[in-house]
Amino acid sequence: MGGTASELPEQSPYESKRHSLDRIPSQTGSTNANIFPDPENVVEADMEKGGVAPPQHTGPPGFNPADFPDGGLEAWLVVAGGFCALFSTFGLVNCVGVFVSYYVEGPLSNYSASTVSWITSTQVFMMSGLNAVMGRLFDRYGPRWLLIIGTLVYAFGMMMLSLSTQYYQIILSQGIVSAVGMSAVFNSATNSVMGWFFKKRAAALGLTVSGSSLGGVVLPIMMEHLIPKIGFAWTMRTLGFMFLALCGFACVTVKSRLPPRKKPFNIMDYLRPLREPAFVCIVLAGFFFFWGMFLPFNYIELQATQQGIDPAIIPYLLPIINAVSIPGRILPGFLGDRLGRFNVMIFISGLSGVITLALWVPGKSTATTVVYDAVFGFASGGFISLLPAVVAQISDIREIGTRTGIAFFASALGALTGSPIGGAIVSAQGGKFLGLQLFCGIVMTMAMVCFVASRTIQVGFKITKI
């Protein structure tokens, strides 16, 4: 103790200086995220943070699983802001059936339902598909300016929609301009949440995405009541001002915990993930599910009207789907964190397909339609909240924007073509919906098969949490 510094034995630079910490076996029984690979036998336990972190030399601070806050005021404010962002963006997408019904019966009555559905399909495609671009911008610059610019573009698009009366005007304002702003806001919110949570990631995403379900309940009822009273134009302006306020709150609260990665554009960033079979299966699953998922949203009101369902119930079919999808967004996230996100995703994607074939296809009564509405709303809601979570589980968190962008781009291709294909099937069958219903159920079941394949590639057929 009394010796000088020169008398102390020289320490190897490779020797750990943290003598208070022992080397213990890995506490991670299954892969939760490929942020940094663990050594085969041991990891360094970070007792101060109560978790397991890889050795310090494996990466910069902030990326280790134990560095994720998984709570705290800042983290939950990000979730609150994301909730408002998704209420305003994906919540409006959940109202596509209201738009299609209004356009077919009103200003675009001289167009077929299949042609009109290209408007909402283009909107969904642009919002989801542009995530491949917005995700790259998020990784490079962070969420701040994406949120601000996206909010202004979105509000501008809604104001232009209020002035639109022709088909080309509506598809430009709703299908393109507003959708570009929606994509920027949606991407910034979901990707920011994933940077704050690790163990509770699926649950946090479920709470965030439940904002879209609440929007899908409130907004259709608002539109159904406001359009007859104040007209379509002022209804769209009212929504535009409301979205401006909600997204403004998101601009203040949503932030990234991790620093941006300002690396030059490289096309291999988009192609490299496609060399991973497990990731490719997720991409295919997203495509197949979105291929069928929006068919009930777009056509269930028209199908129910043709089938002779109680007219008093029909305006509430979409709100029912979206109301039940609120617990559908949240509960599968909590279950995914405990039972395995892939395991829960396989169940809910399979449930969506099977319930469509078992209830929507043969169902003829009001009760059957309402039950299908509720079960489908729960199952499809879980898919939206878990898709980013399963992508993040097999991804480097520093590339999360690009990789979720790839997955959502493939999903957007399904959303873009699914509703027009469904409309063409209805037209080819003389206005009958059986072919559309079968197509919807079969392609969503194919999504379940793809998730099973992804899980099998990772762990085989073992019964384990993944």
**What does the H/E/C string look like for the chain?**
CCCCHHHCCCCCCCCCCCCCCCEEECCCCCCCCCCCCCCCCEEEEECCCCEEECCHHHCCCCCCHHHCCCCCHHHHHHHHHHHHHHHHCHHHHCCHHHHHHHHHHCCCCCCCHHHHHHHHHHHHHHHHHCHHHHHHHHHHHCCHHHHHHHHHHHHHHHHHHHCCCCHHHHHHHHHHHHHHHHHHHHHHHHHHHHHHCCCCHHHHHHHHHHHHHHHHHHHHHHHHHHHHHHHHHHHHHHHHHHHHHHHHHHHHHCCCCCCCCCCCCCCHHHHHHHHCHHHHHHHHHHHHHHHHHHHHHHHHHHHHHHHCCCCCCHHHHHHHHHHHHHHHHHHHHHHHHHHCHHHHHHHHHHHHHHHHHHHHCCCCCHHHHHHHHHHHHHHHHHHHHHHHHHHHHCCCHHHHHHHHHHHHHHHHHHHHHHHHHHHHHHHHCCCCCHHHHHHHHHHHHHHHHHHHHHHHHHHCCCCCCC
Q: Which pLDDT score, from 0 to 100, does residue 50 have?
A: 35
Q: Which pLDDT score, from 0 to 100, does residue 3 have?
A: 46
Q: Which pLDDT score, from 0 to 100, does residue 139 have?
A: 83
Rg (CA), the chain: 24
Q: Which pLDDT score, from 0 to 100, does residue 33 have?
A: 38
| pLDDT tens sequence across 410-437 | 998 998 899 889 989 998 998 899 999 9
Residue type, 366: T
Q: Which pLDDT score, from 0 to 100, does residue 164 have?
A: 94
Q: Which pLDDT score, from 0 to 100, does residue 63 have?
A: 60
pTM to 2 decimal places: 0.74
What are phi and psi for residue 49, nearest 5 degrees? -100, -5
Residues of the chain scoring pLDDT < 70 = 1-66
Q: Which pLDDT score, from 0 to 100, does residue 84 have?
A: 96
Q: Which pLDDT score, from 0 to 100, does residue 56 have?
A: 42
Q: Which pLDDT score, from 0 to 100, does residue 368 have?
A: 92
